[in-house]
Amino acid sequence: MKRSLVVVAFILLTSLVFSQSVYWEETFTPAPADWSLDANWSFSGGTLTLSWSPTITNYNLSAVSPVLSLPDNVGDLIVTQFIDAYSPVNEIMAIGVIVDGGLPQELWQYELIGGNWGAAGGEDVVLSLSEFAGEDIQLEFRSYGASTYNFDYWYIYNVMITALFDNDLAAVEVLGPPNAEIDQPDLWQVNVRNIGMLEQNSFTVKLYQASGMGLELGSIDVLETIQPLDVVAFNFFWTPDVLGDTELYGKVILAGDECQNNDMTQNLDVTIFPEGERQYLLWDNDNNSYYTDPNTGATKNCEDGLEEALSANGINYQLVTQLPKVLRNYNVVFACLGLYCVG
- Share of residues in the chain with pLDDT > 70 (%): 93
Q: What is the pLDDT of residue 1?
A: 36
Q: What is the pLDDT of residue 5?
A: 34
Alpha-carbon gap, residue 33 to 337, rounded angstroms? 39
List, for residues 134-148, the tens digit of each pLDDT value: 999 999 999 999 999
Look up the pTM and report it: 0.70
Alpha-carbon gap, residue 285 to 265, rounded angstroms? 26
Alpha-carbon gap, residue 255 to 243, rounded angstroms? 37
Q: Which long-range contacts (CB under 8 A, 24 or more apart) does 9-17 make?
A: 15/228, 15/229, 16/164
Do the first three CATH levels of 20-163 and 169-273 match, i.e. the same topology?
no
Q: What is the pLDDT of residue 341?
A: 60
If you average pLDDT over residues 177-185, what whole number do you get? 97
Single out the residue of 337, 336, 335, 316 nearest to residue 327, CA to CA: 335
Q: Enter the CATH code of domain 169-273.
A: 2.60.40.10
Q: What is the pLDDT of residue 6?
A: 34
Q: Which residues contact 119 (CB under 8 A, 6 or more apart)?
A: 82
User: What are the extents of the domains in the chain?
Assistant: 20-163, 169-273, 280-336
List, for residues 217-237, the tens digit of each pLDDT value: 999 999 999 999 999 999 999
Alpha-carbon gap, residue 16 to 14, rounded angstroms? 5
Q: Residue 293: is its pLDDT beyond 90?
A: no
Q: What is the pLDDT of residue 294?
A: 87
Q: What is the pLDDT of residue 287?
A: 79
Q: Enter the CATH code of domain 20-163.
A: 2.60.120.200
Q: What is the pLDDT of residue 140?
A: 98
Q: What is the pLDDT of residue 289?
A: 84
